[in-house]
Amino acid sequence: MIWCEDCGSKLTLFRNKQDDITKHFYVCSHYRQALKRFNQSCTRHSTRRDEIETLVLTKIREVLKYVCENKEEFIKKVNQRSNVESQKSLKAKTSILQKADRRISEIEQITSKLYEDYALAKISEDKFQKFTLKYETEQEGLVSETAALRMEIEEIKTKTANAEHFISLAEEHMNLSELTSEIARLFIEKITISEVVNNPDSNTRKTRKNCSRDVHIFLNGLGEFKVEEMR
């Protein structure tokens, strides 16, 4: 659910115990694996669990309050945004699918010609096996890719933003007081976290007071829903 904004890897939870106090942190899994191989291709992205949970709870409560107080406006805006985003995604995935289908057709023609040339002894057996393996491997990958793309395209075509359903969830959990695993799964699609950076006006070393990071919270069915943009 929580991902590194820089490398795209999942952030994993680990414990750090100091002076009999146990603290939980999320850390980029790619960084931890690369660190074992002495290859720092990403950074730590260390984030305290309690801080993330507070941010998520605040975000959910903010959205639920807005939804319950602005139901008609919420339905209108969500449906408008959903249509635009769905069309963009549909167009992009359809274009990729068409290119992949064309390439599969090309490979079939190339393979057929290879068999013909081999049968007529125009190419050696070694070259025939080498090229057929190459093209068959590429074709298998493309077939898997197109199958996944067709499923995604079908999902986009049939899926519409169910604003009414979200409103019912908002009303049911309007007095939300704590973040549980069930609530997180119900409302949160994913969270992306950037590395900590010094604030522009700070010339001192990194500390909690003079640093900042980007945390993007995506809600199920709504994406990165920002209440301030709905006003």
Q: How does pLDDT run across 90-107, given as a tens digit for each residue?
A: 889 999 999 999 999 999
223 found inside a domain: yes
Backbone angles phi, psi at 69, to 5 degrees: -90, -15
For residue 113, pLDDT over 90 is answered with yes
Total domains in the fold of the chain: 2
Integer-rounded Cα radius of gyration of the chain: 25
Instruction: Provide the domain limits for residue 185.
Output: 2-70+176-230
- What pLDDT, on the 0 to 100 scale, is given for residue 141? 93
- Tell me the per-residue pLDDT of 29-56, one tens digit each, with 9 for 90 and over: 887 776 665 566 788 788 888 888 999 9
% of residues, the chain, pLDDT over 70: 86
**Same-domain check for residues 106 and 84:** yes
Instruction: Tokens for 179, please give them.
Output: 């973040």
Calculate mean pLDDT across residues 70-83.
81
Same domain, 87 and 39: no
pLDDT value of position 182: 92
- Mean pLDDT score of the chain: 83
Tokens of 4: 């590194």
Q: Specify whether 81 is located in the same domain as 130.
A: yes
Order of strands, sheet of 21-28, starting from the edge strand that comes earlier in the sequence:
11-18, 21-28, 47-48
Q: How far apart are CA 51 and CA 48, in angstroms?
A: 5
User: For the residues 215-229, what does the mean pLDDT come to?
Assistant: 83
What average pLDDT score do residues 153-173 get?
78
- Residue 205, pLDDT above cutoff 60: no
Identify the domain boundary among 94, 128, 158: 158
Whether 166 is in a domain gets the answer no
Question: Is residue 164 in a domain?
Answer: no
Q: Do residues 100 and 62 share a domain?
A: no
* Domain closes at, from 124, 158, 192: 158
Q: pTM higher than 0.85 for the full model?
A: no
Q: What is the per-residue pLDDT for 114? A: 93
- Contacts for 34 with CB less than 8 Å, ≥ 6 apart: 40, 41, 42
- Which position has the higher pLDDT, 114 or 157? 114
